[in-house]
Amino acid sequence: MKNRKQAFNPYLPSWEYIPDGEPYVFGDRVYIYGSHDFYNGYVFCMGDYVCWSAPVDDLGDWRYEGVIYPRNEDPLNRDGKMCLYAPDVTVGPDGRYYLYYVLDHVSVVSVAVCDTPAGRYEFYGYVHYPDGTRLGEKKGDEPQFDPGVLTEGDRTYLYTGFCGRGDKSRTGAMATVLGPDMLTIEEAPVFVAPGCEYGAGTGFEGHEFFEAPSIRKRGDTYYFIYSSIVMHELCYAVSKNPTGGFTYGGVLVSNCDLHIAGYKPADMPAAYGANNHGSMVEIGGEWYIFYHRHTNGTWYSRQGCAEKLTILNDGSIPQVEITSCGLNGGPLTGRGEYPAYIVCNLFTDQPSAYVGGEGFPKVMQDGRDGDEEPGYIGNIRHSATMGFKYFDCRGVREFGIVVRGYCDGVFEVRTAWDGAVLAVIQVRNSNVWEEYKAPCEIPDGVQAIYLTYKGGGNPSLRSFMLL
């Protein structure tokens, strides 16, 4: 039996940008469907749909399945000028795989189909009423956005919606029931979760629906997962009925780790967040939440991450902490060299819950989109702190870093962002990657690693070593 690979966040290669992840287990593999950002992209979702998959028993071994659907396959987009926004996939009653999506400048739901999970999907049609009118174009329809789908028997439940602040024309998330042809509406849209303009008295206050609807079923309970009006968090609501009665459950994950206390104050952002989109999946008896993070100091180069969930006996799910080892099943080995792009906490002495700002550090890469160049942390300034969690440390007596850039300062090593300094590593000006080491006794056990830069200039960090 081959050795199992360690799993990191992001779970795909550092040069791949697949946000809005919808994970599914088909057979003995996990498949991830999402939109496709570019490194240095200037808008969301510039690429064709691609798919990645991994064995259910080796969640660090992801395989590129290739392009499954090009943007110009849709008759509305033959010139390829529109972007493919966040999709979802479901298995129809005929056993085929159906891909639901919305293009960025229209408000109808398109559908493509394939005989296999990650083959080449072909355009199939548009979701429509029995009279042929497309959903989103009938008088009184609200615009369609971010489809999420769940098929049970001959019925497919389609969840859509987008609700921005100040827009009273958008009511909330919608559920529409489709028939066995996967296109024809059997039950017209109903609202299942309120937008922020209609949240008063609903129990969703402060966490009203914004976008990114997704649906999962566990036992007899439907979990409606969505991005809330604050954008950086994925929340959930529960019901025994797929088209009504949903009650707010809580936050599943925040991509800036707001609300999480213990290792920091609950109201302290520990990463640069922005919009969020993802869903839950059960793999090998364990549940995980898939979400995305933001890189390159922008909103437009997002990468998929995942964390293990704990579902309590009453069905509730506590918010999970963002880590570097979400799919690993436990801490990473506390020995050896690790790439800096697996950073999960990234901040300075000027807190910000949202990405952007010249003075903020960022995960980036050399080259252009598609170049298989390893990611690293760049634009590191005085007070920048980088956190990596978690490692099962045994006998660590030395710590190393690989750094480049014009700088004059030190990296301080800690096991808590505000903990005691365990080592100080001096760095110097260099336009190539240089390795630096210092004695450092990290206590045995499961530990976080935090590096804080103090000094001038603008270094970059490629990797660190536990020795």
**Residues with catalytic function:** 20, 211
Per-residue burial over 410-447, b if 16 or more Cβ lie within 10 Å, else e, is bbbbbbebeeeebbebebeeeeeebebebebebeeeeb
Residue 103 pairs with which residues in a beta bridge?
84
Tokens of 204: 């969703």
What span, in angstroms and rounded, lies between the C-alpha atoms of 329 and 311? 16
Buried b (16+ CB within 10 A) or exposed e, 252-273: bbbbbbbebeebbeeebbbbbb
322: its two tokens: 């963002």
162, 143 contact by CB (below 8 A): yes
* Amino acid (one-letter) located at 171: T
Q: Quick one: 223 exposed, middle or buried, by C-beta within 10 A (0-12, 13-18, 19+)?
A: buried
Task: Report the sign of the C-alpha dihedral through residues 196, 200, 206, 212, in that order.
Answer: negative
- β 148-152/155-160 pair status: antiparallel
